[in-house]
Structure 1
Amino acid sequence: MRILHVTPTYYPNVGGIEAVIRNMCRELRERGHDVAVAHLETGLSQGQDRDEECDFPIYRIPLLGHRLLGLAPGLRKIAKEYDILHVHDPQLMAITGSVLLYARIMPRVLSSHGFYGHTKNLSQFKALHQKLAFPRLLKSYHSVLAASKSDFAHASLYADNIELFENGINVAAFAPQQPLSEKDLHRWIYWGRISQNKRPDLLVDLVKACADRGHNIHLTITGRPFDDMQSTLKARLADLDMPDHFDLRPPMDDAALKATMAQAGVFASASEYEGFGLTFIEAMAAGLGIICRDAEPMSEFANSSGAGIAVDFRDVDRAAAQVCDFLDQHANTISASARRFAAKYNWSDKICDLERVYDSALSAHNTPSSTKRS
């Protein structure tokens, strides 16, 4: 089967969508499929390169206009070379618009990635779009793969072609290299975007409140600055003057990140919203417990795994008390519970379901399916 993943972002950009697409492509290639990525974004030059890690082509296609209201005419020629499009468009705007205009007759499925609830920006525009265009655009896909139960519940209000397909990870890639008993639950790490909606400033406040209760937490924060949160965070750390408790670092490569994770016992995030929460599952695969906001899907990971706790960051003192009690009571079980829970999200076990979705879409469009393994 020839599968083209259409996305508004891809490496060298780094984030959850990029990781999900790369893992999907890796697993599909191993099962004999021909895969590629079409990266549609403003400022790109038309061209082609290659994902060196996973060995498949990346088509760079300029998006003319804006990421919300833009067109990518370069998609037309490339899309015709594939059997099916797997579209990754949480906004259901420019990317989906280009797919409908330039590849309308092709079978296609959509991954939700949290839709557009990650921030409150353009809230009035989003509300209008959701009322007028959202249902029709959802129905233009054969299947909408909801990345979380909250995405499924939301999209099901507008269309009936929704199915739950939670993302996966390469579990083996995050397996800890040391005995689980050596995990230090007082060493925390956050990795990801350092942005307003991720709220790393609240993590700093939580560490301070835990320290006031006698728990000497050390928090490493690493990631790519996305807005002015980096300067806010630096100012807050300077005011606290607690250098033994905090380490703010630039983005790490995979080797450095895994080395830092190996010394940590907890992944902590105060993120306001996650479409799926990929980093939480990655952390749990490494044997880390999780501390998160009391909001789905993060809270579901914490509560159902036995390896984490979800707290209300609006009351940091109460949150600190809950966190300290949790770490004291579950110190001997967190790592094992985390790995056991993460194992359910292994891509190698999920990819058959993805193939089934593709086959169904191809059949609905009377397109021969070439799912035989090479």
Structure 2
Amino acid sequence: MTAPLPEPVSPFADKTIVHVVRQFYPMIGGLEDVVRNLAGRQTGRFSKVKVVTLNRLFIEPDRLLPRQETIDGFEVRRIPFRGSPRYPLAPSVFAELGEADLIHVHAVDFFFDSLAWTSPFRRTPMVATTHGGFFHTADHKRLKTLWFNTITRLSASRYRGIACCSESDLATFARIAPSRVRLIENAADLEKFGSAASPVPVKGLMTIGRFSHNKRLDALLDMVKVLAARDSGWHLHIAGSGSDWSEADVRRMIAGRGLEAAVSLHCNPSNARIREVMGSCSLFVSASNYEGFGVAMIEGLSAGLLPVVEPNTAFVSLARKHPMVRLAAFADADKAAHAVEEAWAALAADPSALRQAAIASAAQHGWAGTAGAYERLYADALRLA
């Protein structure tokens, strides 16, 4: 009997990788989930995997998190910061980088800039992932554009490679770092909510995400008010955590529209709780006018939820790959409600086929391909060292 071939040795088996990200678990969100999944899959591929992050969550600024923790087999180190969550200052990050053979910075913020400016003193190869940059809202657009074309351009020149997690990010960052960018779309944990949606059509809607202004929960609630006036059977489930709007703010928005019976708010829910709620839903909805990629929508597809979403750049791009995605401008509540009703009618006509098509379509965003693309990025960065 032929002995099985040994597993190939990882080219990074003698390397330490340090991920730097402003927010991490127990914060739940697209950025945090991507970093956790990526770092978890690198455990065993690298000699050591470490995540450096801030020691307080922006939504709970008075709660101090543990200084050190092991999560999914990798080390998490949390450091203090001061200043605004928009640009938190955390100079003690430099003390956490001494053992790194490769530094991976996530998002464009203080860490992205400060590690770039000090890179000549370390000479450690660095890569970055954009995660949408900082154009999530139109607020301070002129200042953001000026900063991007000057400070961000200079910072980007210090990175060996920049992973753009969406086609819109690629187009944006190609303007300032054309030789360094490449498209590595975010992956989703397809098992987390896999097949969780109701097996039979129900008039339950699900939206997931932080309560930030770009998610436009007010427009989503306006649409639900139209739906509920036509049919009291409709129900929206909002799962997320406080951000620009607090839990109290969102509850006031619900009450102000008289939607207490038609909307349930699930604050800081566990994945198990979200999965449970999905069991009473058939559609995923989002009025967000900006997404770095759209991980929550992909997770909704993996559950078997049919999406009706705002035609922002990220969702339009995803709609080209997923034909069951319906686009609707939520600024017109009546038209958006009509789009939801049409999506539900299509599902009711062939529930099993459409549900399974959504689940199958999500499979193209699994982690195997994305993790491999990052290893190619790392290999290229290390060869340039």
After TM superposition, the score normalised by the length of structure 1 is: 0.87
2:167 is matched with 149
2:33 is matched with 19
CA shift in 2, pair 1:211/1:67, >3 Å: closer
Q: Give the deviation of 1:242 after TM superposition.
A: 4.2
Match of 1:354 among 360, 374, 381: 374
1:167 matches 2:186: yes
Once the two structures are superposed, what CA deviation does each residue of 1:298-323 show, in whole Å capped at 9, x if it has no partner? Answer: 23323531222111112111222222
What aligned pairs does 1:17-166 form with structure 2 within 5 A after superposition? 17-31=31-45, 33-40=47-54, 48-52=67-71, 54-63=72-81, 72-91=90-109, 93-101=110-118, 104-160=122-178, 161-166=180-185
CA shift in 2, pair 1:207/1:142, >3 Å: same
| Separation of aligned partners in 2, 1:50 and 1:299 | 39
| Separation of aligned partners in 2, 1:350 and 1:124 | 34
- Whether contact under 8 Å (2:201, 2:347) holds in the other structure is no
Gaps of at least 5 residues in structure 2 are 1-14
Q: Give the deviation of 1:69 after TM superposition.
A: 6.1
- Whether contact under 8 Å (2:192, 2:271) holds in the other structure is no
CA shift in 2, pair 1:334/1:211, >3 Å: farther
Q: Give the deviation of 1:262 after TM superposition.
A: 2.2
1:307 is matched with 324
Q: Give the deviation of 1:241 after TM superposition.
A: 3.1
| Separation of aligned partners in 1, 2:26 and 2:354 | 34
Once the two structures are superposed, what CA deviation does each residue of 1:208-238 show, in whole Å capped at 9, x if it has no partner? Answer: 2223444832111122122346445333432
Matched position secondary structure for 2:191: helix
| Separation of aligned partners in 1, 2:369 and 2:167 | 19
2:364 is matched with 344
Query: What fraction of aligned residue pairs are identical, expressed as a percent?
Result: 28
| Separation of aligned partners in 2, 1:81 and 1:46 | 23
- Whether contact under 8 Å (1:45, 1:60) holds in the other structure is no
Amino acid at match of 2:359: R
Once the two structures are superposed, what CA deviation does each residue of 1:182-228 show, in whole Å capped at 9, x if it has no partner? Answer: 24341111222123221112112112222344483211112212234
CA shift in 2, pair 1:242/1:129, >3 Å: closer
Once the two structures are superposed, what CA deviation does each residue of 1:128-148 show, in whole Å capped at 9, x if it has no partner? Answer: 212222222222111110010
1:372 is matched with none
Q: Give the deviation of 1:124 after TM superposition.
A: 3.3
Match of 2:314 among 285, 293, 297: 297
2:298 is matched with 281
- Greater shift after overlay, 58-67 or 38-47? 38-47
Match of 1:187 among 204, 212, 216: 204
- Whether contact under 8 Å (2:116, 2:159) holds in the other structure is no
- Greater shift after overlay, 159-168 or 68-77? 68-77
CA shift in 2, pair 1:177/1:69, >3 Å: closer
Gaps of at least 5 residues in structure 1 are 366-374
Once the two structures are superposed, what CA deviation does each residue of 1:60-94 show, in whole Å capped at 9, x if it has no partner? Answer: 12345555666544333321202101101233x45
| Separation of aligned partners in 1, 2:153 and 2:98 | 26
- Whether contact under 8 Å (1:306, 1:334) holds in the other structure is no
Match of 1:325 among 330, 342, 353: 342
- Greater shift after overlay, 230-239 or 113-122? 230-239
- Greater shift after overlay, 313-322 or 235-244? 235-244
1:368 is matched with none
| Separation of aligned partners in 1, 2:128 and 2:182 | 10
CA shift in 2, pair 1:228/1:66, >3 Å: closer
1:203 matches 2:217: no
Matched position secondary structure for 2:222: helix
2:8 is matched with none
Once the two structures are superposed, what CA deviation does each residue of 1:225-277 show, in whole Å capped at 9, x if it has no partner? Answer: 22346445333432443444221232211211111112211121111211111
- Aligned alpha-carbon RMSD (Å): 2.6
| Separation of aligned partners in 2, 1:205 and 1:66 | 31
CA shift in 2, pair 1:231/1:59, >3 Å: closer
